[in-house]
Amino acid sequence: MTNTLLKELFPVTRTIDASPPLAEATTMAGVLRWRAVHRPDDPAFHYLGFGREENLALDYRSFDRRASAVAVLLRAHGVKTGDRALLLYPSPRDFLPAFFGCLYAGCVAVPAPMPEDAKEQRRLAGMIENASPKLVLCRAADMDLLRGHLCASTEDGLPLVPTDVSIDVPEHTQPTDRDIDAIPADTLAFLQYTSGSTAAPKGAMVTHRNIMHNEEAIRRNTGVSEGRCLILTWLPYFHDMGLIGCLLLAIYSGRPAILMSTTSFLQQPMRWLRLMSDCGVTHSCAPNFAYDLCVRRGKRPGMDPLDLSAWRVAFSGAEPVRYDTLMRFAEQFADAGFSRDAFMPGYGLAENTLFVTSKREGTPLVTQTADYAGLTQNRFVPAEPGHRSVILVSCGRTAGGMQSVMICDPQDGNVLPAGHVGEICVQGESSVQGYFGANGEDAAQLRAYVDRFGGNGVLRTGDLGFVDAASELYITGRVKDLLICNGGNHYPQDVEFEIEQASTRVRQGRTAAFAVNVAGQPHICAVCEVDDPDGQQEALREQAEQIVEAVRKNCSVLLSALVLVRKGTISRTTSGKIQRADCRERYLRGALPVVYERVTPGWEEASLKLRGQAVDAADEGALVV
């Protein structure tokens, strides 16, 4: 795809009527059909293959036809309203028509990642067991590969239905406007499986009403319907930020989108910024690690200059937003016209469809410098000179009036005043119905404090944070990841940050800190990946001592064990979050490829008793204090 052709498809001067058809559509299926009828020639999306996959450009008329063909295919295979269909594609290219085909047919879509290793295959098997899909939608080219995975995951395998083959669909069999208008807004649209950063993934039940409410909230805060707008995304379609925050937002707002696969980005991160520059993209989303990748692998001598001046919204979410990463990115690409005010930190989760809060488009980045000791006591206190401090980035506010956020005491549910750290709770129409097939414990955890808030239901997020006097939301960590040491609460990401700052050999974003309970006392351990793992043991010992001292000095935490491991050891979720619970479990089983381990006096004996043993239920609670 040439830059000239892209600019013809998405010209800077082209004006598109992007008004959301809210008066006529109550579901995303209705939105797509409305646009196919009233704006058939407007570009919906253009997928760039960057390899063997062909490029694909669809306007709304073509998009609607493909979705209708998938809906007819589903009905031909006996899929009824409410049945689930598993969607397995390597990219959003074929996923989007399949997803909307499910919506047209009243089928519940289950987006899932293509299994590339044993761990992902186990995760997929868990999703299949929970969702009980009737069939699998996929590409014809992937059927042999998927047949092997699915036969290993289920007793008889699942029917594989390719959606990229030519389908002759008689017009009288296609979903009519009346069919689509009759879809109840409160029925299930799809199952969004959580990333599994602290527990096994669960299927959040997202209704059509949830999607529409959340897309409107995103639209209001991002300014996506104002002026010229072009969206670019490489985020996975099976992750909430990729699906809700990019793909469906583009269709809801009537704005064209350029799509590329996640693999294309990871292979060459600068492809993302090159497209941003060449096409004058205005909106794009990414987790913190993507901005960090661009800083570390970015500008090279002789590289053609970039023009990022059109980039109005650089959304950052899905994992902790690090101030230092944002500042390094803004500094490195300032001469390309990137403005730090384009950053839009936000907070969301699958259980709330996606969006909870964000900075508003066109407003300055907001931060607070917090006293570290105050945070360990669950209070925000502005840092004083000479005190250990942490720079926290605001995740903004809700879209006015659409939902409310409150900070509650995790123990008794009482609402806490501004400046107090507690569990973030959300109330509004974006909160999902629950987890699919959830047991009583999961259901109670998801929606609690009902009586206290007038019986309307409040979503417990499991995340910790506070609001300041200006009602800005700041995220401090996860309830399940909280580390208790010396009478204070410590956040694993702070310990991990200090470890990565203390050694040039530790890989950025590849550290996991967690607690292990020994004789009723929590001990803090950390595992980190290192470059040059085959270096001399003496050099590794010196690095380990530097790390332990830095954590003791800056976090007031003594690491009972510091374990250096090889690259690729530490698991991450599909959205890039560190899976601390998984790392802890493998450490206790002695299943880590240890390069060097530094332990405090007295810990070695306790460690030997614990490691190599199965983690029992009582000890598992040591992480979730």
Q: Is 410 exposed, middle or buried (0-12, 13-18, 19+ CB in 10 A)?
A: middle
Q: Is 416 exposed, middle or buried (0-12, 13-18, 19+ CB in 10 A)?
A: middle
Q: Report which DSSP code applies to 484.
A: E
pLDDT, residue 459, reads 87
Q: List pLDDT tens digits, range 432-443.
A: 888 888 655 555
Question: For 321-356, b where at least 16 C-beta lie within 10 A, e where not — what string?
Answer: bbeebbbbbbebbeebebbeebbbbbbbbbbbbbbb
Residue 379, pLDDT > 70, answer yes
Cβ neighbour number for residue 166 with a 10 Å cutoff: 5
Residue 140, pLDDT > 70, answer yes
Comparing 533 with 247, the larger pLDDT belongs to 247
Residue 617, pLDDT > 60, answer no
Domain ranges of the chain: 20-260, 348-481, 483-620
Residue 446, pLDDT > 60, answer no
CATH architecture of 348-481: Roll (2.30)
Residue 621, pLDDT > 60, answer no
Work out the average pLDDT over 555-577: 82
SS (H, E, C) 171-238: HHHCCCHHHHHCCCCCCEEEEEECCCCCCCCCEEEEEHHHHHHHHHHHHHHHCCCCCCCCEEECCCCC
Query: What helix, strand, coil percent values describe the chain, rounded to 5?
Result: 35, 25, 40
Residue 152, pLDDT > 60, answer no
Is the separation of the CB atoms in 97 and 163 below 8 Å?
Answer: yes
User: Considering the chain, what percentage of its residues have pLDDT values greater than 90?
Assistant: 44
The CATH classification of domain 20-260, taken from the options 3.40.50.300, 3.30.930.10, 3.40.50.12780, 3.10.580.10 = 3.40.50.12780
Highest mean pLDDT among 1-5, 201-205, 208-212, 398-402: 208-212
Is the separation of the CB atoms in 259 and 281 below 8 Å?
Answer: no
Q: List pLDDT tens digits, range 450-470.
A: 334 444 578 888 899 999 999
CA dist 375 → 419, 482, 520 (Å): 10, 12, 24
CA dist 285 → 88, 138, 291, 343 (Å): 22, 26, 10, 10
Binning pLDDT at 50, 70 and 90, where does residue 625 land? very low
Q: How far apart are alpha carbons 497 and 243 in whole angstroms? A: 29
Residue 449, pLDDT > 50, answer no
Binning pLDDT at 50, 70 and 90, where does residue 622 land? very low
Q: List pLDDT tens digits, range 260-319.
A: 999 999 889 999 999 999 999 999 999 988 998 899 887 766 678 899 999 999 999 877
pLDDT, residue 479, reads 81
Binning pLDDT at 50, 70 and 90, where does residue 623 land? very low
Q: Report which DSSP code applies to 401.
A: T
Comparing 401 with 534, the larger pLDDT belongs to 401
- The yes/no answer on whether domain 483-620 falls in CATH 3.30.70.930 is no
pLDDT, residue 195, reads 65
pLDDT, residue 533, reads 63
Residue 492, pLDDT > 90, answer no
pLDDT, residue 365, reads 94
Comparing 607 with 180, the larger pLDDT belongs to 180
Q: List pLDDT tens digits, range 4-50.
A: 445 555 554 344 555 556 667 899 999 999 999 999 999 999 999 88
Residue 123 phi/psi, 5-degree rounding, is: -60, -45
Contacts of 568 (CB under 8 A, 6+ apart): 529
Q: Where are the alpha helices (DSSP H) in 50-114?
A: 60-76, 92-105
pLDDT, residue 616, reads 37
- Closest of 225, 231, 342, 354 to residue 284, by C-alpha: 231
Binning pLDDT at 50, 70 and 90, where does residue 164 land? confident
Question: For 521-538, b where at least 16 C-beta lie within 10 A, e where not — what string?
Answer: ebbbbbbbbbeebeeeee
Q: How far apart are alpha carbons 63 and 28 in whole angstroms? A: 13
Comparing 61 with 576, the larger pLDDT belongs to 61
- Token readout for 231 is 């969206």
- Closest of 459, 465, 460 to residue 427, by C-alpha: 459
| Helix or strand run (H / E) with residue 43 | strand 43-48
Q: How far apart are alpha carbons 73 and 59 in whole angstroms? A: 21
Straight-line distance from the first to the last Cα atom of the chain, in angstroms, rounded to the nearest whole number? 52
- Token readout for 566 is 């090889």
Comparing 118 with 22, the larger pLDDT belongs to 118
- Closest of 550, 599, 591, 598 to residue 571, by C-alpha: 591
Q: Which value, to the nearest 10 degrees, does the dihedral of the CA atoms of residues 72, 73, 75, 78 take? A: 170
Q: List pLDDT tens digits, range 262-273.
A: 999 988 999 999
- What is the pTM assigned to this prediction? 0.83
Contacts of 308 (CB under 8 A, 6+ apart): 273, 276, 277, 333, 336, 337, 338
pLDDT, residue 302, reads 65
pLDDT, residue 508, reads 82
Residue 207, pLDDT > 90, answer yes
